[in-house]
A and B are shown apart, each in its own frame.
Chain A
């Protein structure tokens, strides 16, 4: 949205904004906690409020056409886009393309946790969606693996909704999330956080029954004799995010396989002229305010490209 508004403000006349969801706002809609907008708006907002400011601007911009429930299925080298939308399949060929596809969560499979495959293992962001959008509490006794921001925020959210967060486990000696989230989400509610601890197994027949954990040494290896079990019915995985760039990769844009970001010397730019990537799909940001300012830059870069 910020890129579209910025492109419009920089003189681009015909802008199409494709959104796969039925609402604008993306992940902000499920981030109902505060902490957004401090840099950009100089006030404390929740995710939906932050998104709302941009939705209102988009609605007022005559040059921006919004197409919801529009799922891009194909992108080829000449920037021809194919997308599905209720009612049909459509094709457009924009002169410039800005991808703002965000990022996705790392899964249990990506961090290789042995054990059985019971129900009750969620990524932290999925649990957030279930609680904040769908109104479903995924479990009553929770262990959180990893101390990323979403995991810390979900520790508080589960506690407020009446579940018991039995432990947060972090393999490193300090948190991966913002320190303010450790204070207001974990310490406020006296949730045990175990640094230098890793998960050895997740066990359960139909539903998660327990996790087995152990202390780790400096090389992140298990310290023998330190393992113990924590009974729980739910495990959240909060171990990091990966930029989502498969669509442009299929079209031939160079992607760094280590980070899944576009190979680029300059923010927002890709190896393909006229194809820009902004926000968390370019690199994973800590705070949304910086996503906005770099996305505004992307809109401006696209406008400059069109003038060439």
Chain B
């Protein structure tokens, strides 16, 4: 059993270890030549980086049952092993491994930096958190209960951590500088007793629940036979209207609206409604009310996340693929890609507007809190900026925002499709890209006060030609593969031209003078105008890659 779990989780464990160590070391290295206060702060950030990977559950295990709540190792039910052992072995493993990963990371940072990174006390609390999260995930048979349980456990853990770390208040600075760590992390024995009690309770709850699932008293967490690309079926089936049979385009439009468009819109509106409710409900609770504005930010992030995966890529036990059902419908690839992106954009945009309006309207509910002030100042900046624009400039801004959202959705969908088709090359490319940014960070640290422009300046000589070359290459591909007709290509050029005109208007409104600028700078600033064209070519080309593998 241990070997089996190790095989499933080893890659994720390696990632967690690597992320913690590399992230921590990078932060320490970048700020190593700075003042003592900044170096201390970088050590605090490094500590957060090595703790953070252990806040989330094990994704590799969640894949086994398509992320459904319940015991993910359900295949073990037929083994001649008692339920207590069935639960105890993976639970012990999943508790010990994060603690071990943390200990290795902390020890390494301790040795290389000399800072007293806490060892056993932090590892013990990480183990406790993982125990509770595992027990919650395995015991709950309802998604909402599962999420609430995990959120409660994590919040309780955070509150406790903040309480302990802010035991000594230092005016004008954060309360847990490295020199205080040995004192702050010297937890009393009662803490370890509490951790033991949490462990026992979690184990008991998990065993009882898994026993019910094993013997059919509670539904077992089986993986889906066919993974639905994302939206809950209750929301999908909220709207019942008949599929038109008069044309393929209308039927496909119905399919897209029903399967993804309307669920996005519904969930966006639901989130928009939740914002004033959260503000109002948390009003009497000072601590919670301070953090309520962050819910508004999360809502916007959720709506943006609904916009990804417009092509409906599915995952089954870690394998990404496109729906054969859709791929075998007699519908042109370019039209299909266009329709998917269009529907998703048309539904994401009003959802974003609804959330934005909700935040704006809900500000009257907020009486206190630093977060609210921050949010207010942001909204004032936006309001002031919009008020100074002429009607024509406001229209241009709306055009840029609308097409920008569609371009973002198209590009993300295309990248996801290419990631499904070419996972390894894309992983390598992403790693190289991240590495290059790591390099930029290091150079930034070495450059000191010579300015960011010194480092980022040369990138425009790479980015602008890259955008132009990508456009030329993709246009050649879509025409040689007969994905786009001349008519649809003309449509893409027109949209791009409209976006370009609007973009230039917005640049002018922002005070950017292209006339006097150096040629390269002007090309760099104008290059986003090509993005709609790239998206128009890349979206059908990438969909074609997964439709015809």
State whether these chains interact: no
Query: Which A positions have Cβ atoms within 8 angstroms of B?
Result: none
